[in-house]
Structure 1
Amino acid sequence: MSYLSDNYVEETRFGLWFLRSHAWQHYVLRVAVNDLRSLFSEAPPSHPVLLDAGCGQGKSFQYLRQTFMPGRLIGVDADPHSLNRSREEAVNQGMTVELIGSDCASINVPDASVDLLFCHQTFHHLVEQEQALAEFYRVLKPGGYLLFAESTEAYIDTWVIRWLFRHPMHVQKSAAQYLEMIRRQGFEFGPRNVSYPYLWWSRAKDFGLLECLGLSKPKPFGQREETLVNVVARKPLEGAV
């Protein structure tokens, strides 16, 4: 298949199947969207222009509609097969979604035209991460928000994930490194806008199995290497200092 990015890392068949499964939708997407909504310091924009960067097979659309009620929803992905699935999902959900075949490092959207940019479990697939983050900043309006939810290197570099999925391993980062990259790009956020979900499926090595069996206790925050980081980061208003 011809992908719309020279740096695209092809997903496994298992990965493509999993990304349209009930488990992905219910335990990953739904939870992430709800958590991101809770991280806003103030009410998000009403009827926003919302861009889903790396929309995959469109399973996020229904949750984004329920939570943010976008006036316009745009999906971007570099995989033509996934875009076709997204198109089918939009029809099934009775939604109007504008789909763009594009690399996140070069998005065909005008400057300062987006209110909310949703990037969920996409960034660790991208090779040109700095360029993609610069594009996110460019397309957001002043005062617009980046909704960023990612798995960290501590999770992506486990043997199970490396066996079942495909990722560019040389660009994986820790939670702190992702946050520093976002801040360095110029986005603003505080502790109130960041969370470190500690979900059963994100437990490195055993997916929380030993804890379920009562054979170990969960490590408290600050004593574990975070496997997930969510942040709602704002592009400063023009003229802000």
Structure 2
Amino acid sequence: MSFLSDNYVEETRFGFWFLRSHTWQHHVLRVAINDLRSLFSEPPPAHPVLLDAGCGQGKSFQLLHQTFAPQRLTGLDADPHSLELSREEAARQCIEVELIGSDCASIQLPDASVDLLFCHQTFHHLVEQDLALAEFYRVLKPGGYLLFAESTEAYIDTWVIRWLFRHPMHVQKSAAGYLQMIRQQGFEFGPQNVSYPYLWWSRARDFGLLERLGLQRPKAAGEREETLVNVVARKPLEGAV
């Protein structure tokens, strides 16, 4: 398989299958998009130009279309096979999508051309994270939004996830690390724009089994090392101070 990035980390067969499963679509994608929509401090742009950075097999397209009603939807991925499946998914859903074969560290779009940039469970796969985040900032319009939903090192660096999936382990970060990185790039957000979902599938080690059996007390925020972080971050308007 020839990938469109020299730094692409190929997913396992299980991982590739999981990304088209009902669990992924219903319990991961749908929940993340709904949560991100709730984190806006003001209504999102009407009929935006929307970029799905790391669109995978296109399972997000219908949910993004229903939630944000984009005038233009673009999917980007560095895996040609995933892009072909995305094309099939878009046709099956009767959704018009422009597909770009590219690394997130070098996005083939003009400056300030995107209103919303959706990056869901993609960033922890990227080796050149600083370059990718700079590209996200570049292609967003002033006042545009980064919709960032990510698993943290506390989740990725567990035996079951390392066994089932493939990730570049040297770039994994904590929730605080990702938020600091986004802020340092120049994005703006407040506490009201950030959430730390505590979902069953994100419970490190046992997927919350002990809690469901009543053998362990659920940990409250502040007691646990966060395994998920969602943030809606805005690129400042030109001339803003």
Q: TM-score, normalised by structure 1?
A: 1.00
Offset at 1:104?
0.1
Residues 40-81 of structure 1 show CA distances to partners (whole Å, capped at 9, x for unaligned) of 000000000000000000000010001000000000000000
Residues 199-236 of structure 1 show CA distances to partners (whole Å, capped at 9, x for unaligned) of 00000011000000000011110110000000000000
> CA–CA distance in 2 between the matches of 1:35 and 1:70?
18
List runs of 5+ in structure 2 lacking aligned partners: none
List runs of 5+ in structure 1 lacking aligned partners: none
Q: Tell me the secondary structure at the aligned position of residue 88 of structure 1.
A: helix
Q: Does structure 1 residue 130 correspond to structure 2 residue 130? A: yes
Structure 2 counterpart of 1:91: 91
> CA–CA distance in 1 between the matches of 2:222 and 2:13?
36
> CA–CA distance in 2 between the matches of 1:233 and 1:218?
29
> CA–CA distance in 2 between the matches of 1:140 and 1:31?
24
Whichever residue aligns with residue 137 of structure 1, its letter is Y
Structure 2 counterpart of 1:182: 182
Q: Does structure 1 residue 67 correspond to structure 2 residue 49? A: no
Whichever residue aligns with residue 38 of structure 1, its letter is S
Offset at 1:17?
0.3
Map 1:38-57 to 2 at 5 A.
38-57=38-57
Q: Tell me the secondary structure at the aligned position of residue 108 of structure 2.
A: coil
Whichever residue aligns with residue 83 of structure 1, its letter is L
Offset at 1:139?
0.1
Structure 2 counterpart of 1:147: 147
> CA–CA distance in 2 between the matches of 1:156 and 1:108?
29
Identity %: 85
Q: Number of matched residues?
A: 241
Q: TM-score, normalised by structure 2?
A: 1.00
Structure 2 counterpart of 1:224: 224
Residues 16-48 of structure 1 show CA distances to partners (whole Å, capped at 9, x for unaligned) of 000000000000000000000000000000000
Q: Does structure 1 residue 17 correspond to structure 2 residue 17? A: yes
RMSD of Structure 2 on Structure 1 (CA): 0.3
> CA–CA distance in 2 between the matches of 1:7 and 1:218?
38
> CA–CA distance in 1 between the matches of 2:15 and 2:208?
21
Residues 156-195 of structure 1 show CA distances to partners (whole Å, capped at 9, x for unaligned) of 0000000000000000000000000000000000000000
